[in-house]
Amino acid sequence: VKDLTIGYDLPLCTITCDILQGEKVAIIGPNGKGKSTFLKTLMEQVSPLSGEFLFGHQIEVGYFDQELAQFDTNNTVLEEVWNDFSELNRTEVRTALGCFLFSGEDVFKTVDCLSGGEKVRLSFVKLMLSHPNFLMMDEPTNHLDAFSREELENTLLNYSGTMLIVSHDRYFINKLATEILELTPTGIVEYQGNYDEYIQKSRYSG
């Protein structure tokens, strides 16, 4: 990412950074300063105001959008997954759903009846079945109860690809991140390590 100015009518910030294979990068900063817009820009949902970005060769992106707009609400949970991954058999689909706490009659609920937390879990079933090597996630723990959040953390701790995370959940960031990118009025400040290490270094540097 080089001199990438993001925003809508007015610029929010300008970002220059490199994200390397295997890194787990969390973006932090005040509300309204461009964290979600940065991800949307990388996904080409929002046009950059200036600058450029480039994905490496053979990058397969998986994107979690906190707005959860990618479902057919008339489908059952089982159908929602199976329609997108028709090469799997019923047992494989149910096993994948079970990894994200959909068991028994839960798989026959229609999507429009799901809670916010259930929709988040369903999003991650589909996301992980697509086998991305670069995950971009915008507030993935929103709507999750403590048990569901812990299951998601365990799944992501075992994920070997690269991650770019926007989250206000400091505990979640602390468990997963290997690098922190802080959005500031003058651009990005990079900190190696998790959230606790970021707090120590930012206090020291301040």
* Per-residue tokens: 14: 């300008």
**pLDDT band with cut points at 50, 70 and 90 for residue 206:** low
Q: What is the pTM of this model?
A: 0.89
- Token look-up 């461009």 returns 34
How sure is the predictor about 69, in pLDDT bands with cuts at 50, 70 and 90?
A: low
Structure tokens at 80: 């929602």
Question: pLDDT tens digit string along 89-108?
Answer: 999 999 999 999 999 999 99
Question: What are 98's two structure tokens?
Answer: 């079970």
- Quickly tell me which residue has 């926007």 as its tokens: 166
Residue 188 pLDDT level (bands cut at 50, 70, 90): confident
Q: DSSP label at 108?
A: G
Residue 52, SS3? strand
pLDDT, tens digit (0-9, with 9 covering 90-100), for 193-202: 999 999 988 7
